Amino acid sequence: KAIYLKDYQAPDYWIDQTNLTFDLYEDHTMVTSVLSIYRNLDNKSGKQGEDNLPELVLVGDDLELISVEIDDKPFSDFKVEGGFLKILSLKESFTLKTVCRINPQENTSLEGLYKSNGMFCTQCEAEGFRKITYYLDRPDVMSRFTTRITADKTAYPVLLSNGNDIERGELDDGRHYVTWEDPFKKPSYLFALVAGDLQHVEDHFTTMSGREVTLRIFTEAHNIDQCDHAMISLKKSMKWDEEVYGREYDLDIFMIVAVDHFNMGAMENKGLNIFNSACVLASPETATDARFQRVEAIVAHEYFHNWSGNRVTCRDWFQLSLKEGFTVFRDSEFSADMNSRGVKRIEDVNVLRTAQFAEDAGPMAHPIRPESFIEISNFYTVTIYEKGAEVVRMIHGILGAEAFRKGSDLYFERHDGQAVTCEDFVKAMEDASGRDLTQFRRWYSQAGTPVLNITDEYNEDKKQYKLTIEQSCPATPGQKEKEPFHIPVRLGLLDAEGDELVLNESGATDQVLDVKQEKEVFAFDNIEERPLPSILRSFSAPVRVKYDYSREDLLFLMEHDSDHFNRWDAGQRLANSVIDEMVAAFEQGRELSVDRSLIEAFGTVINDESLDLAVKAEMLSLPSEASLAEQAVEVYPQFIHQARQQVKKAIAEAHKDSLEALWQSLNVHKPYRPEAEDIAERTLKNTCLSYLTSIEDKAMLALAEQQYHGASNMTDRFAALVSVINAGNHDRELIDEVLADFLELYHQDTNVMDQWLSVQAASPSLGTLEHILTLMQHEVFDETSPNKLRSVLGGFAGNMKQFHRTDGLGYEFLTDQLLDLDKKNPQIASRLMTPLTRWRKFEPGCRERMRKALERIKATPGLSSDVYEVVTKSL
Ligand code: ARG
Ligand code: ZN
């Protein structure tokens, strides 16, 4: 059943104080909840009960209600119906005590209270708290919490919850207890509890006002040496938020707990962040550069939520992007400041263009502030998060850094302790800056990726250059027609020498065009010759740009554009057009060799000694298969894979000596540091290796083997492993040997094993259906672990060649797995279904087979609301 933003109503009751007691046992848990409830006098709309007071409707899911008391007296005038506890005769304010019995040891959904590797932990966002006790489980109900936890002392020596621990002691039967008090009001989704046999590392941070904060990261004992990077990242985040946003931490302690079984990346529970262990643990021996950076980014993200999310939270779940879009923008800027800004921008845009553009073009397309949903868990999407962050980034661009900061100060000050809306955020930005964001607001309400069709003309006599920009936005579910967006388009103009033209009196060489109409013409005077436009610099808006660049134009931009992003983008456009053309030829049964201009352009990049290494590595990366598929009009998975491979190999063969020399020059041993310059060196080196091993040449494979065995860190070792595998079946023996060696070395480290599994599942040569089945039988596989499922099933579903095999067995297999998984963990089942929902974009054969698979899912009785929503919207 769908719920609608327009139906929002404030609650009839508030909960001032929430006192919880958890008695944890192996075969059940008792939850005692004591709530001080009072009526919301502003609300006259609720259904009135007998005594003229609205009835109190608490929500609960899968709870065994043991007893109810009101004001310390047994109470029986209630009903339990369809997941609701309805209290009928009431007063304006009262204390409600309930006792419920739950079974966390059997909870496979990983929402609410559950067990991961023998420890208890929680995930309450968005609506998991209702699996713990009856409550007003909605974000606009903010309450002060105390939490008392009792458990066996030997099995669960560490008992954690939000806030500060105020009391602890011994109980009978080898049990003990700890009581936590959180002084800040919060919605139930920010509640957390952890109980387990955990070790921790500890550090301290002194805030800008001189407050001492204890920082602790908890993990199982065997991972305790993998917490340092997260701790460093946490301290950097705390400092950055003070410097850039003036935001200080507000409790005496900040804790992070690593758990292996977790549906998402991490969760910002007040003072007690719970992390997927893959997003917090890192050591040079076990984590790649990518993982080091992901840990830093996610630690920052969750920490930043303390203000953008916790102190100021969301009124309802339609406002999810209020906290997520803003917080992703904040963590993205943090990562840019800590590492290479240019590389970070490219990475973010890659995610947006592949995953988000695809979502916006698919059946689940929704605005960053959706109007309705069936299951909120389905809306933790790249649209809400990444497009949401791009929208905040545009506000930052339109206002400028200084006014944006005034706006964020005003937002935090105005709404501290409140549950608010996206509108409140935009309003604060407007009020602080004096800018009018009326039209800009459409970014919140309209889905779909706008398209800019751009043409230009040059008038020799008038010395005038004119750019005509037409915007449009494809229809999305429920939104046929769109109003024009306010789109900031950053532009530069290059002359024939590749120099930047000055565009205004102040001498600037780039300018932001505020595109607001459906069609707009921008004229530039005193232009001596026809310039080449560099459009949408630094990706100033989340749109598609259509401008008829010739291949020469793109080559020119690749060499001369002063905007690094567009320089990279020109290379991507060029590769895209070459690969597209090849796919079109294959489709007609023709062969087509790789365009020399692309091969030469990549040669220029390889040999350009003036290029920053990080930029060089990015420029040498071909568009991924996923992004090629997203940009194609009709997806031919086999041809995309084949064309891309062919291009890669042609580049490698043409520039083998330079690539090998570059690899050699970078193949130096030094102590591992996860710093931008070192990462750039390793990335470039490993890019070279990946090209070299695409040539079927034993000598090149030997380089990979050499790097594999000689590596002193996981980045280099794993890259070598990937290169050996992707070199394909021409040396199957070597592949097996290296995989076995890797398994032997790292089999105790579950996060490393995720990578071992996913590289195989995603490999075009290895990742056959038969092999996937073997992986799922392997002892390192665990069907209750979302990370393992993502590695194997997610890896396979991203495998163009194997998943889209022409007999449709890839789809059938995934369907079987999803239907099975839906009974245990609906959130993960629903997520893993995403590739199938893109069926309409595929060539007729795949399209039909994917549709059939979805029909089979839809016809299955007893689907979760998660899978039900996605499958019905997809068909
Ligand atoms: N708020 C968390 C974050 O952004 C994600 C929680 C997702 N939970 C969920 N049920 N989908 O870090
Ligand atoms: Zn978040």
Q: What is the mean pLDDT of residues 485-505?
A: 96
Q: Assess whether the C-beta atom of 184 lies below 6 angstroms from ligand 1.
A: no
Ligand 1 centroid from CA 267, angstroms: 6
For residue 126 and ligand 1, the question of a CB distance below 6 A is answered with yes
pLDDT tens, 364-420? 999 999 999 999 999 999 999 999 999 999 999 999 999 999 999 999 999 999 999
pLDDT at residue 729, as a whole number = 65
The ligand placed nearest to the CA atom of residue 389 is 2
Q: Are 96 and 55 in contact (CB under 8 A)?
A: no
Q: Does ligand 1 have an atom closer than 6 angstroms to the CB of 302?
A: yes
Does the structure show a pLDDT above 80 at 55? yes
Q: Could you identify the atom of ligand 1 that is nearest to the CA of residue 377?
A: 11
Among protein residues, the one with the nearest Cα to ligand 1's atom 1 is 267
Ligand nearest to the backbone CA of 825: 1
Q: Is the predicted pLDDT of residue 442 greater than 90, yes or no?
A: yes
**Which ligand minimizes its atom distance to the CA of 317?**
1
Residue 808 DSSP code: S
Query: pLDDT digits over 477-494, tens only?
Result: 999 999 999 999 999 999
Please say if the pLDDT value at position 858 is more than 60: yes
pLDDT at residue 44 greater than cutoff 80: no
Residue closest to 482 by CA, chosen among 365, 355, 627: 365
Q: Is 380 near ligand 1, meaning CB less than 6 Å away?
A: yes
Q: Is the CB of 324 under 6 A from ligand 1?
A: yes
Stretch 678-688: mean pLDDT: 98
606 lines ligand 1 (CB under 6 A): no
pLDDT at 600 over 80: yes
Relative to the CA of 266, which ligand 1 atom is closest? 12
Identify the pLDDT of residue 691: 98
Q: Ligand 1: which residue has its CA nearest to atom 2?
A: 267
**Nearest ligand to residue 381 Cα:** 1
* pLDDT value of position 505: 86
pLDDT tens digits, residue range 179-212?
A: 999 999 999 999 999 999 999 999 999 999 999 9
Mutate which of 125, 186, 273 to test ligand 1's pocket (most atoms within 8 Å of Cβ)?
Answer: 125
Region 218-232: what's the mean pLDDT?
A: 98
* ipTM exceeding cut-off 0.95 for this assembly: yes
Q: What is the pTM of this model?
A: 0.98
The closest-lying atom of ligand 1 relative to the alpha carbon of residue 264 is 7
Q: Which atom of ligand 1 is nearest the CA belonging to 111?
A: 10
Q: Nearest to residue 374, comparing CAs of 812, 811, 14, 872?
A: 872
Catalytic residue among 125, 220, 302, 386: 302
Mean pLDDT of all residues in 458-484: 98
Q: What does the pLDDT average to over 838-851?
A: 98
Residue type, 493: L
Q: Ligand 1 centre from 763 Cα, in Å?
A: 29
Tell me the one-letter amino acid at 64: E
- Of the candidates 606, 607, 601, 547, the residue with the CA atom closest to the CA atom of residue 575: 601
For residue 89, pLDDT over 90 is answered with no
> φ, ψ for residue 44 (rounded to 5)?
-110, 5
Q: Which two tokens stand for residue 414?
A: 């105005």
What confidence score (pLDDT) does residue 831 get? 98
How does residue 829 score in pLDDT terms, banded at 50, 70 and 90? very high
| Mean residue pLDDT across the chain | 97
- Mean pLDDT over 9-37 rounds to 98
Closest ligand to 268 CA? 1
Dump pLDDT digits (tens) for 715-738.
999 999 999 998 876 689 999 999
Check whether 47 has a pLDDT greater than 90.
no
Per-residue pLDDT reduced to its tens digit, 283-338: 999 999 999 999 999 999 999 999 999 999 999 999 999 999 999 999 999 999 99
Average pLDDT over residues 76-101: 94
Identity of the amino acid at 419: A
What six digits make up the tokens of 865?
A: 């609301």
**Nearest 5°: CA angle at 43, between 37 and 44?**
115
Ligand 1 site, residue 377, Cβ cutoff 6 A: yes
**How far does residue 323's CA lie from ligand 2's centre (Å)?**
7
Helix axes 564-587, 596-607, angle to 10 degrees: 150
> Taking 60 as the threshold, does the pLDDT of residue 48 lie above it?
no
How many whole angstroms separate alpha carbon 193 and alpha carbon 146?
11
Q: Check residue 90 and give its pLDDT.
A: 82
Is residue 262 within 6 Å of ligand 1 at its C-beta? no
Q: Rounded to the nearest whole angstrom, what is the distance from the C-alpha of residue 560 to the centroid of ligand 2?
A: 38
Lowest mean pLDDT among 255-264, 487-496, 722-731, 858-867: 722-731
Distance CA(716)–CA(287), nearest Å, equals: 10
Residue nearest to atom 11 of ligand 1 (CA): 377
Catalytic status, residue 600: no
Please indicate whether residue 267, judged by its CB atom, sits closer than 6 Å to ligand 1: yes
Given pLDDT bands bounded at 50, 70 and 90, which one contains residue 43?
A: confident
Closest to 272 (Cα-Cα) out of 197, 357, 366, 200: 200
> What gap in Å lies between CA 612 and CA 608, rounded to an integer?
9
* Distance from residue 153's CA to the centre of ligand 2 (Å): 33
Does any ligand 1 atom lie closer than 6 A to the CB of residue 331?
Answer: no
Q: How far is the CA of 387 from the centre of ligand 2 (A)?
A: 13
Per-residue model confidence as pLDDT tens digits over 136-167 = 999 999 999 999 999 999 999 999 999 999 99
CA of 331 to the centre of ligand 2 (A): 10
CA of 314 to the centre of ligand 1 (A): 13
Q: Residue 124: what are its φ and ψ, rounded to 5°?
A: -105, -25
Q: Tell me the average pLDDT across 338-360.
A: 97
Angle between helical axes of 865-874 and 844-858 (0-180°, round to 10):
140
Report the residue among 130, 264, 273, 825 best suited for mutation to probe ligand 1: largest number of ligand atoms under 8 A from its CB. 264
